[in-house]
């Protein structure tokens, strides 16, 4: 899933590079408004979850605040962090994945306890969900990010 994440982010970035910043920032009525804001949220979520897993909390602005206002800045950070996610995922052990993980969600004001594997699944599911929103916005502009189906994207990576 880390390789899939990286590949799809690269595909989306390649298409988004064809748009001026004003088009990336335009409110398109999506949950986070614009393409740029949705990508910011996706990056924010990845950083927060990996910070939790690595016991190194991500110090960032509150949820909903843009981390990057310039697309080029986002692209470099996304590329670097996708490499980090891939390295991290390649080191996971079965023993770690089955361990319980407890954390307090300030957003939902509750503490949850779930196995690591379940929350790692959420990390990748969250990415897929929001990339789907971005690909829809791009599709509405007549732009195609290419194949996004897991079996066809990941197969060459295996």
Q: How far is CA 29 from CA 25, 32, 75, 107, 133, in A?
A: 12, 8, 23, 23, 11
Total-model pTM: 0.90
Binding residue per annotation — 41? yes
Q: In the prediction, which pLDDT does 125 show?
A: 95
- What domain range includes position 49? 2-157
Residues of the chain with pLDDT under 50: none
The predicted-structure confidence for 52-92, as pLDDT tens digits, reads as follows 999 888 877 665 567 888 999 999 999 999 999 999 999 99
CATH number at residue 8: 1.20.120.450
Nearest of 49, 40, 91, 29 to residue 69 by alpha carbon: 40
pLDDT at 118: 97
pLDDT of residue 85: 97
Number of domains in the chain: 1
């Amino acid at each position: 899933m880390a390789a899939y994440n990286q590949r799809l982010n690269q595909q989306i970035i390649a298409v988004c590079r064809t748009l001026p910043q004003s088009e990336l920032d335009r409110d398109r009525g999506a949950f986070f408004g614009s393409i740029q804001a949705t990508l910011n949220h996706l990056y924010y979520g990845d950083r927060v979850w990996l910070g939790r897993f690595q016991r190194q909390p991500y110090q960032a602005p509150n949820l909903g605040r843009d981390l990057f206002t310039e697309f080029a800045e986002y692209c470099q950070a996304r590329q670097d962090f996708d490499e980090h996610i891939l390295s991290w995922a390649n080191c996971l052990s079965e023993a770690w994945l089955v361990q319980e993980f407890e954390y307090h969600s300030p957003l939902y004001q509750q503490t949850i306890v779930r196995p690591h594997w379940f929350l790692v699944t959420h990390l990748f599911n969250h990415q897929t969900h929001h990339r789907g929103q971005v690909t829809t916005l791009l599709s509405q502009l007549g732009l195609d990010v290419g194949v996004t189906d897991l079996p066809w994207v990941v197969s060459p990576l295996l």
